[in-house]
Amino acid sequence: MVDKNVYFFGNGKADGHGKMKDLLGGKGAGLAEMTNSGVAVPAGFTITTEVCDSFYKNNKTLSAQLDAEVNANIKNLEATMGMKFGDAVNPLLVSVRSGARESMPGMMDTVLNLGINDQVVEALIRKTNNPRFAWDSYRRFIQMFSDVAMDVSKHLFEEALTEAKHALAEKTGRDKKEVKDTDLSADDLKQLVNIYKSIYKIAKGEEFPQDPMTQLWASIKAVFNSWNNERAIVYRQKYQIKGLLGTAVNVQAMVFGNMGDSSATGVCFSRNPANGENMFYGEFLINAQGEDVVAGIRTPQKISLESSKEWAQSNGVEESERVAKFPSLEELMPEAYAALIAYKVSLETHYRDMQDMEFTIQEGKLYMLQTRNAKRTGFAAIKCAVDMFKEGNLSEAEAVGRVNADQLNEVLRPIFDRKDKVKAASEGRSIAKGLNAGPGAACGQVYFSAADCVEAVEKRKEDVILVRIETTPEDIKGMIVAKGILTALGGATSHAAVVARQLGTVCVAGCGKIHVDYAKKEMSVGDKVIKQGEFLSIDGFTGEVIIGRIKTIPSEILQVLIEKTLPESESELYQEYALLMSWADKIRTLTIRTNADQPDQAEIARLFGAEGIGLCRTEHMFFGGDRIKAVREMILASDTAGRQKALDKLLPMQIEDFFGIFEAMQGFPVTIRLLDPPLHEFLPHQDAEVSELAKELNVSFEVLKAKVNSLHEFNPMLGHRGCRLGITYPEIYDMQFRAIILAAIKIKKNGKDIVPEIMIPLVGDVKEYTILRDNAVTIIKDELAKANVTMDYKIGTMIEVPRAALTSGAIASEAEFFSFGTNDLTQMTCGFSRDDSGSFLGEYVEKGIYDEDPFQVLDQVGVGALMRLSIKDGKAARPDLKIGICGEHGGEPKTVIFCHEIGLNYVSCSPFRVPIARLAAAHAVLKNK
Amino acid sequence: MVDKNVYFFGNGKADGHGKMKDLLGGKGAGLAEMTNSGVAVPAGFTITTEVCDSFYKNNKTLSAQLDAEVNANIKNLEATMGMKFGDAVNPLLVSVRSGARESMPGMMDTVLNLGINDQVVEALIRKTNNPRFAWDSYRRFIQMFSDVAMDVSKHLFEEALTEAKHALAEKTGRDKKEVKDTDLSADDLKQLVNIYKSIYKIAKGEEFPQDPMTQLWASIKAVFNSWNNERAIVYRQKYQIKGLLGTAVNVQAMVFGNMGDSSATGVCFSRNPANGENMFYGEFLINAQGEDVVAGIRTPQKISLESSKEWAQSNGVEESERVAKFPSLEELMPEAYAALIAYKVSLETHYRDMQDMEFTIQEGKLYMLQTRNAKRTGFAAIKCAVDMFKEGNLSEAEAVGRVNADQLNEVLRPIFDRKDKVKAASEGRSIAKGLNAGPGAACGQVYFSAADCVEAVEKRKEDVILVRIETTPEDIKGMIVAKGILTALGGATSHAAVVARQLGTVCVAGCGKIHVDYAKKEMSVGDKVIKQGEFLSIDGFTGEVIIGRIKTIPSEILQVLIEKTLPESESELYQEYALLMSWADKIRTLTIRTNADQPDQAEIARLFGAEGIGLCRTEHMFFGGDRIKAVREMILASDTAGRQKALDKLLPMQIEDFFGIFEAMQGFPVTIRLLDPPLHEFLPHQDAEVSELAKELNVSFEVLKAKVNSLHEFNPMLGHRGCRLGITYPEIYDMQFRAIILAAIKIKKNGKDIVPEIMIPLVGDVKEYTILRDNAVTIIKDELAKANVTMDYKIGTMIEVPRAALTSGAIASEAEFFSFGTNDLTQMTCGFSRDDSGSFLGEYVEKGIYDEDPFQVLDQVGVGALMRLSIKDGKAARPDLKIGICGEHGGEPKTVIFCHEIGLNYVSCSPFRVPIARLAAAHAVLKNK
């Protein structure tokens, strides 16, 4: 028998403390911590988890000792609150809640408003002057208590409620379906209480218990019983919650903000969650319950005088009217206000973070109901973290830890003017919502083909939005010039989304509601038709598609960093961003590289802090200028000689490509991936396009069409691509090997340093690698000898086919580096085509089969297991193996942390994700300290 | 210093023996073994691998001891052969060959005819009466010795040879290019020998060595040197040959079958390799060299008198002519014949297998040059194994080990009449060759659509060959009725190949040379056009496509077993087959199941010995009768209610399907896989077909086309299929769960036993499994309760997504059995689409990247590693987990052996592969004993 079964909290002091989660449960420990930190939470007490354990061990009985302890604690609670259980003047009501060590939301039972009875309800009416509220509380309590504690089916009560509404409908001549709970008057509810009580009596054979202690004991037992209800058991199995004694029971005084004009309720933030300014921010309502503040029926008032005045000014409210109708809490209840301000400071200091607080003032006394770290925008997160460091409340590392890496996105993207957007919505111009695939705001004239986009931009200097059913590499020129990309199909890692993120272009993808008609050059949503050349705005933060123009503003950080239109000294945001990133860089150990195919992308990535290129995709280069012609010539060649002729045309262009990239990266390592996509991606597929190309190439339509058909694949993802092209058409890769080394030689001859890294894609067996590696070495040695230059270079491989991961030992004994291509590795490991899985992945995430879309957040359980295996075998074969990741996941914070934990050397991501990866890499170190 | 460096063999006795491969090399040990077993191999001696090692350790010098030993052995050799090195009357010539422990064919050097010189050549002329042969041998020896032993470039000799031919051309007025080596006369060659000798003299500054011992020592050193030539080093690296001392050197007397009419050469088999009959079988030529027998210039004679007479009869040769021109060896050289017969028996007894022998008779004395286990047909393999058991030369297990499992195929398939096929080829009717995807011979009228096939069979009772560019599930009705299937695209596991093997239908797939024109209803190869209704014959053993009819004969075993048209007692082949299979069944521990979707397939599989169904694909059922209509109705339904309505129609049909299967399997376990393919496979895709279906279903073309488009997938393999359908449309699987249990209840009520096994496809995460398992259990419990029946059932999953293999622990803790779906597992693990990989897999196998097509023979290195991992984790979580395989690999012998070794409980394969799997499973036990 333990000495103490019940832990009191209240009046600034708790028997327990925040670390006693095993004994008091999560909620009980939290209430104790808040109380101890001086926060006036409504007082109460926690019955320990040990009692739950002993309850089950003793055939569901409770001890006499517990009886005595609970009685003593109720006395203490009454004294602390200045109220009494069942009192006719100042009645104490309590909530009875479960709370195990691990949170199991909604799985166990709760009883609210316990202590209410026929006498107390009258007292409540007197105190609140709100009979409707009082009777409704009583009604709800009867139903909840009967259901939870006494096993009376709640359906019986719900039927009675429905009958009452039907009666009201008949009486008022309204349609039955239209009558709502809120239409019932105080009298209606009073009548309903009587009916409820008789339902109870019929079910249980006795009167509804009026004694609060009877109510309390029944509820405590009910909570203990609910520990082993079916839902809770299933939940614990599902989330593998094991080794718990049971649940604690928290009995806490209820407080009411609707007990007259000296009562109030409100929500507040310790700083502005939108921009991070250190300004107290919040709203309240006099004589109201919590839900009234957010319900929008009454206009909430501002808490501080300053913000109240500001509000009045921007809403055109005269000062006299403001004082009369919308005074601040500061004016109305200066004491409560002062207490709140004090809490704001002490809670921020205690939790060392911006707080989001709920409070209730009951008859002049302030109670804090809840405080938690505030959700905030990226802007606010940065400012708050830097300010709190400057205020001396956070260390650099802690400040870094306070900013969610993903939120950096927000501060880098162009944004819509908020008011303009609200206006558009009110005009019904917000017509659809897709996937927020490329953050930012874009507005422009709509075009439905890459060529039309290019023409509009080049000839008419228009801002354009490219709208496609889906995009392919052929659309790249249009995507480059477009302000925004909108597609009807495709997910977060569809071609459109991937390219958009890399380009930093706004993108809304997979917007299923839009119907695109290429022939008519128009799109439609329902009966709304948008024709080519009309304006459209797309919000890459939210996925919204809006007809017409919305004003956009470029990100301040970009103005400083990239566009250089704003001096650093004039942007506080930039200075804060730069400071925060400098701290992150000091902490992190992962190198951050970028995925970039063009010198300008590489330059931007450098400005964002990239330390090299982890993935330079060479296929994108094949679409530039007139190259596609030579590429097509190569594909259509019927023999090696013909292919070689076309490749000879491409060689000087590829040398220039690589030279540009090497130069932009200023000596940082550059990993170049050889040609990866299947050749049919470089040919048109529609008859009209084929016909046009046939004319251009001076071959017959039939010949070209036959070639296109012969290259068709049922599952191109798993087809003739990557190093398989290099094996079957060695001359293609040979050209690329030669271009890489010749570009590097040129850099070297210009007196600069470069270590080119050649990456062979889609390797599944070490022999594929060695065949191609040997070809590369022969060419490189040849060119270096010819140029009389010596140079270090590396040859390595992507690990993107499961078989490569499974045979990593053999591969690592030959390859100098690994780079996980987690896009393809995810596709093949999970068996999900990223282009097709949209039709079911949503439901998969909804049903909890996957926690998140595995194309957005790396699947650590499956794909991650394969990566661990690969790293283990790879490092065993070559201890100094350099390992990175260059899939789209490389810029996703959770994945960055995972990559740090499994021992990668670097992550590589699109340029605009580099700062995010830098921050996440710092978080990884902090998390694993 | 070791005592003995040289091991003699000859005269029925060898110093070494067959197990001394480390010391004597593979070839040396083999020669010793043959000699010891009484075979008259030409005598010789082996210099050990230790000498090679010491050669390298002593700066490429050889010891005086070796000198003495070689001299002694040469003396011994001369005595044994009755010939002398350099002798003017009876000269001894030898070969000098390398031979390491592991065979490295062609990597090291060989010298033949060593011992020839100016004097010996004259002796040879006298003995052979063939000056041309003698001078040509001398010429060849000079070139070979100079190149191999003396480092004189062979190009010098080749140029001289070319010049000699040009001179002859000029002299005879012929075109230079037309003159061949064989046109050179003895005199020409004699002149050439003089030129060769002067080339040597110029290169080396000394005369060509006439002393045979000088020639010998140079050649021995050359062989040792060749151990470390670049080719040999690369070869050892490539095949990871490690831990060898070096190569041995074999010096062996050369024998000549062209030393006049008392000499001969020939090849023979100890039994008939075509049918296994225990009848001596072989051919020879008098006064000839080995290559003359196979060159086809002279007609080889039969060895035994009996076969000689048979040959004469069937070739219309009079007995007098036969005796004069084509006498048997038995008549000509009765002593040598008797010795050969004796060898035939003793070698079969020694090697305990049918032998394929090469022999030479030199001046009346028989020498065996080589004997090896004979390659034979499946028919011969079975007969020979059973006969040798009956003869007491093999145990049951050994007999089982003698039959290649894959060869069973041959004895089960219908076959073409051989003569008819030869005739067709001579008429130029053999027009193309594809992949031998479905063994057997088929002949019929050509149709290009399933519907046309069905019509031709049903209305006109024709035998038909279905020709398609590729097949899809829509073609199933046509595939069922066709005698043979021919496709232009697709590999060994394409839809056509898989279905054909399962149906036991002949199939030639991926025949790229044929061009199919659906519109014109014709196919063509070059300018040969075959129109609908014309006859075509396809040979599934060889992949040949032949215009017109070739007579086919059904397999004897099928006639007995399935067709029951031939009594068991009348088929020796069947009796032998059955006996052999009964032995295999006693040995094997793996259970063999079958993949079958229809009761008739199940019945056939039972007759072949299947012990259950490992994979019943339910989708094939959806194409039968009018079901496809209901299936399409379901797919086109816009809501759950609509789908349910269509499913209600399918339910009774599915119950009948499963009932039929259960009944056919007579109580053996039946594993039913739920619907697997993506829904679009059930809809037409061509506009014309869509239009027709739209009319049939009474919906507009646009609506249907839109639905078809919306279901389109870029990579259907990785798309919305398998259990993903079950998750998003639970009502489909629910119907199947219900149909399975209702069918099982019906069986049970008929008083029979059944344990249905429900298999969930394409699981990648345990939660997919548990959601569907829970749905199944609810329905099964419900139906069992309603029927008041109790019944065991199992629910398990396929392991075919890499992620499932990687998370097998979690899955096994829920699933009762695993079945590896190695088709999909191979596709995803290797990243190969089986429909598309044809464009490069051939080259991959050619280049040795994969040893074999991983869709035909399981990739043990990659996919196998994943399977091992899965089994380990699965069994750790559930020690009694039952594990099988049901991919196409389940009937492939190497894979069956692998499955045995990694601990599977069963393999499941198509019905016609069941005997093969039974035999391979026995081999697995024998191999691991």
Please identify which of the residues A52, A507, A830, A886 carries the catalytic annotation. Answer: A886
Residue B236 pLDDT class (50, 70, 90 cuts): confident
CA B820/CA B759 separation, integer angstroms: 11
> What φ, ψ does residue A624 adopt, rounded to 5°?
-70, 150
What is the pLDDT, as a whole number, of residue A484?
94
CA A462/CA A131 separation, integer angstroms: 64
CB distance B837–A718 less than 8 Å? yes
Q: In chain B, positions 628-687, which contact chain A (CB-CB < 8 Å)?
A: none
CA A613/CA A597 separation, integer angstroms: 9
Cα atoms found within 13 Å of the Cα of residue A725, Cβ hemisphere only: 28
What are the angstrom distances between the C-alpha of B233 and each of A112, B60, B102, B110, B277?
84, 17, 13, 17, 45
**Antiparallel, parallel or unpaired: β A906-909 and A882-885:** parallel
Q: Is any Cβ of chain B less than 8 angstroms from the Cβ of A850? A: yes
Which of B768, B800, B801 has its CB closest to that of A849?
Answer: B768
Q: How many CB pairs under 8 A join A and B?
A: 175
Q: Is any Cβ of chain A less than 8 angstroms from the Cβ of B772? A: no
Residue A260's region, left for phi above 0, alpha for psi from -120 to 50, else beta, is left
Q: Is any Cβ of chain A less than 8 angstroms from the Cβ of B565? A: no
* Nearest one of A748, A739, A776 to A760, comparing CA atoms: A776
Active site residue A886: yes
Q: Is any Cβ of chain A less than 8 angstroms from the Cβ of B872? A: no
What is the pLDDT, as a whole number, of residue B75?
96
Task: Nearest chain B residue to A488 by CA: give it.
Answer: B710
For residue range A372-398, list pLDDT tens digits in order. Answer: 888 777 888 999 999 999 999 999 999
CB distance B718–A836 less than 8 Å? yes
What is the predicted ipTM? 0.78
Output the furthest CA–CA distance in chain B (Å, rounded).
104
CA A149/CA A377 separation, integer angstroms: 43
Exposed / middle / buried, residue A191 (Cβ in 10 Å: 0-12, 13-18, 19+): middle
Buried b or exposed e, range B437-450, using 16+ CB within 10 angstroms: bbbbbbbbbbbbbb
Does B198 score more than 70 pLDDT? yes
Answer for the pair B658, B672: CB distance below 8 angstroms, yes or no: yes
Q: How far apart are the first and last CA of chain A?
A: 40
For residue range B808-821, list pLDDT tens digits in order. Answer: 999 999 999 999 99
* Nearest one of B771, B734, B770, B739 to B756, comparing CA atoms: B739
For residue range A512-540, list pLDDT tens digits in order. Answer: 789 999 999 999 998 899 999 999 999 98
CA A220/CA A791 separation, integer angstroms: 77
DSSP secondary structure letter of residue A675: P
Q: In chain B, positions 725-754, which contact chain A (CB-CB < 8 Å)?
A: 727-728
Helix and strand numbers (H, E) in chain A are 38, 34
Q: Is any Cβ of chain A less than 8 angstroms from the Cβ of B846? A: no
DSSP secondary structure letter of residue A155: H
How big, in percent rounded to 5, are the helix, strand and coil portions of chain B?
50, 15, 30
What is the pLDDT, as a whole number, of residue A292?
67
CA A366/CA A344 separation, integer angstroms: 13
CB distance B833–A715 less than 8 Å? yes
CA B227/CA B230 separation, integer angstroms: 9
Q: How far is A333 from chain B (nearest CA, A)?
A: 54
CB distance B835–A728 less than 8 Å? no
Cα atoms found within 13 Å of the Cα of residue A652, Cβ hemisphere only: 3
Which of A771, A836, A844 has its CB closest to that of B714?
Answer: A836
Annotated active-site positions of B, please? Answer: 495, 886
Q: How far is B723 from chain A (nearest CA, A)?
A: 11
Among A736-745, B280-289, B898-907, the range scoring the smallest mean pLDDT is B280-289
CB distance B836–A715 less than 8 Å? yes
Q: How far is B715 from chain A (nearest CA, A)?
A: 4
Task: Nearest chain A residue to B865 by CA: give it.
Answer: A806
Among A906-915, B203-212, B405-414, the range scoring the smallest mean pLDDT is B405-414
- For B273-336, the DSSP string reads TTT--S--EEEEEET--HHHHHHSSSPPEESSHHHHHHHHHHTT--HHHHHHHS--HHHH-HHH
For residue range B618-649, list pLDDT tens digits in order. Answer: 988 888 777 888 999 999 888 889 999 999 99
For residue range B444-484, list pLDDT tens digits in order. Answer: 999 999 999 999 998 999 999 999 998 887 788 899 899 99
Buried b or exposed e, range A661-671, using 16+ CB within 10 angstroms: bbbbbeebbbb
What is the pLDDT, as a whole number, of residue B501?
66
Chain A residues whose beta carbon lies within 8 Å of the beta carbon of residue B836: 713-716, 718-720
Chain B residues whose beta carbon lies within 8 Å of the beta carbon of residue A800: 831
**Antiparallel, parallel or unpaired: β B415-416 and B552-553:** antiparallel
- For A67-94, the DSSP string reads HHHHHHHHHHHHHHHT-EET-SSSEE-E
Does B437 score more than 80 pLDDT? no
CB distance A835–B713 less than 8 Å? yes
Tell me the sheet residues that pair with A758: A672, A795
What is the pLDDT, as a whole number, of residue A501?
66
Does B493 score more than 60 pLDDT? no
What is the pLDDT, as a whole number, of residue B219?
96
CB distance A719–B839 less than 8 Å? yes
Q: Is any Cβ of chain B less than 8 angstroms from the Cβ of A846? A: no
Please identify which of the residues A268, A495, A507, A616 carries the catalytic annotation. Answer: A495
What is the pLDDT, as a whole number, of residue A504?
66
More confident residue, B74 or B543: B74
Residues of chain A under the 50 pLDDT cut = 296
DSSP secondary structure letter of residue A571: -
Which of A800, A806, A830 has its CB closest to that of B764?
Answer: A830
Using a pLDDT cut of 70, give the percent of chain B over it. Answer: 97
* Nearest one of A825, A909, A815 to A860, comparing CA atoms: A825
Does B320 score more than 60 pLDDT? yes
Task: Nearest chain B residue to A865 by CA: give it.
Answer: B806
CB distance B847–A714 less than 8 Å? no
CB distance B716–A836 less than 8 Å? yes
Does B296 score more than 70 pLDDT? no
Supply B460's token pair: 């006109």
Which of B727, B806, B849 has its CB closest to that of A866?
Answer: B806
Q: Is any Cβ of chain B less than 8 angstroms from the Cβ of A865? A: yes
What are the angstrom distances between the C-alpha of B194 and each of B132, B148, B190?
15, 20, 7
CB distance B837–A720 less than 8 Å? yes
Chain A residues whose beta carbon lies within 8 Å of the beta carbon of residue B833: 713-719
What is the pLDDT, as a whole number, of residue A238?
66
Q: Which residue has the tokens 């009357």?
A: B89
CB distance A833–B863 less than 8 Å? no
Chain B residues whose beta carbon lies within 8 Å of the beta carbon of residue A831: 717-718, 762, 764, 800-803, 824, 828
Cα atoms found within 13 Å of the Cα of residue A28, Cβ hemisphere only: 29
Q: Which of B775, B849, B852, B872 has the most A C-beta neighbours within 10 Å, making it the best mutation to test the interface with A?
A: B849
More confident residue, B230 or B92: B92
Q: Is any Cβ of chain B less than 8 angstroms from the Cβ of A713? A: yes
What is the pLDDT, as a whole number, of residue A207?
95
What is the pLDDT, as a whole number, of residue B502?
66
- For A111-139, the DSSP string reads EEEET--HHHHHHHHHHHS-HHHHHHHHH
CB distance A849–B713 less than 8 Å? no
CB distance A829–B802 less than 8 Å? yes
CB distance A829–B806 less than 8 Å? yes
CA A902/CA A883 separation, integer angstroms: 10
- The secondary structure of B835-871, three-state, reads CCCHHHHHHHHHCCCCCCCCCCCCCCCCHHHHHHHHH
Residue B252 pLDDT class (50, 70, 90 cuts): very high
Mean pLDDT of all residues belonging to chain B: 91
Which of A716, A765, A830 has its CB closest to that of B849?
Answer: A765
